[in-house]
Amino acid sequence: MTSTDQQLLGALRRRTVQAAADEPTVRGGDWRQATVASVTGNGTVITTDGTVARRLEAYTNPAIGDLIRVDSNGLGDRTTPGRVAGAVVDPPWAAYTPAWTAGTTNPTIGNAVRTGRYQLLGKTCHVAIRIVPGSSTSFGSGAYLFGLPFPVADDIVEYVGTARLTAGSTYIGQCFASPAATTMNATFPASATPATAANMTQVAPATFANGHILRLNLTYQTA
C-alpha cells in the first residue's frame, strides 16, 4: 500500500466516523458530564461546550458552574436530570428591598433602611427582613405590611414566622402570610394580660421611632 493509499484510507475512516457521529440513527443514545455555562428562562441550561439541555423537573435552582449529567437520544434531544453527586450546593441567599406599607396611610420611607434577604429552594422560600426607621421617616397609620420576594402559593394554608421588635424594650411576636399573598404582617401582644396579639402599627406594641429595629423571618411555599 502506497503512502497515497494510506492517506486516502485515513481520510475515509475519519469521514466515516464523523458521518456516523452526525447521524442520529447511527449515533444512538449516550450520556456525559458537562459544566453549566448559563441558565435560560425557558427550562434549559447551556453547557461550556455550547450544548443546550432541557432540565428535568427534579433539577431545581440550576446555577452556573454546576457539574451535570447530560443525556442524549438517537434523535439528538438532550436532557439533564441535574447535578452529579458531590456537586450539590445550596443556592445562595439574595438581597431584595422589601416594601413597607400600611392599612390606612402608607409610611414615607425617608432615610429608613430596609434590608431583605431570601433563599429559594425549589418552591420553598426562606426570607429575612430588617427595617430601621430614620430621622426623616414618616410612619403612616394602620396595620403594617411587608413585601415578600415572591407571591405565596394559593394552597389554603397560611404561614407563620417570627418577629422581634427592639424599641427600648424587646417585643417578641409573629409574622403571618396568607395564601396568594405578596406581603406579610407582624403581630405582637396587645397587652400583658391577657396575652392576646394584634397587628403591628405605628403605636403598637410600642411607638415605632428612629433607631428602632424590626426583624422578621418566614419560610413559605411560593406560587
d(CA 139, CA 46): 48
Domain count for the chain: 2
* Same structural domain, 144 and 183: yes
62-75 tens-digit pLDDT: 888 889 999 988 77
Residue 15 lies in a domain: no
User: Considering 53, 73, 88, which residue would you say is the last residue of a domain?
Assistant: 88
User: Do the domain assignments include residue 215?
Assistant: yes
Residue 188 lies in a domain: yes
Residue 195 has pLDDT above 80, yes or no: no
- Asked whether residue 136 falls in the same domain as residue 191, the answer is yes
- 131 DSSP β-pair partners: 114, 214
State whether 76 and 113 are in the same domain: no
What confidence score (pLDDT) does residue 197 get? Answer: 74
Count of all residues that appear for the chain in the document:
223
Cα maximum dimension of the chain: 105
- Of the three residues 38, 73, 88, the one that is the final residue of a domain is 88
54 falls within a domain = yes
Rounded CA-CA distance 89/53 in Å is 20
Give the pLDDT confidence of 117-136 residue by residue, as tens digits.
999 888 899 999 999 999 99
Instruction: Say whether both 69 and 148 belong to one domain.
Output: no
Q: Is residue 125 part of a domain?
A: yes
pLDDT in tens, 55-101: 998 888 888 888 999 998 877 789 999 888 765 567 889 999 999 99
Prediction pTM value: 0.59
Question: Is beta strand 52-55 parallel, antiparallel or unpaired with respect to 78-83?
Answer: parallel
Task: Give the per-residue pLDDT at 169.
Answer: 85
**Domain, as residue range, for 143:** 94-221
Asked if residue 46 belongs to a domain, the reply is: yes
Task: Write the pLDDT tens digit of every residue in 140-173.
Answer: 999 999 999 999 999 888 899 999 999 888 888 9
Secondary structure of the chain in HEC code, one letter for each residue: CCHHHHHHHHHHHHHHHHHHHHCHHHHCCEEEEEEEEEECCCCEEEECCCCEEEECCCCCCCCCCCEEEEEECCCCCEEEEEECCCCCCCCCCEEECCCEEECCECCECCCCEEEEEEEEECCEEEEEEEEECCCCCECCECCEEEECCCCECCCCCCEEEEEEEEECEEEEEEEEECCCCCEEEEEEECCCCCCCEEECCCCCCCCCCCCCEEEEEEEEEEC
Q: Are strands 183-189 and 94-96 parallel, antiparallel or unpaired?
A: unpaired
Q: Report yes or no on 104 lying in a domain.
A: yes
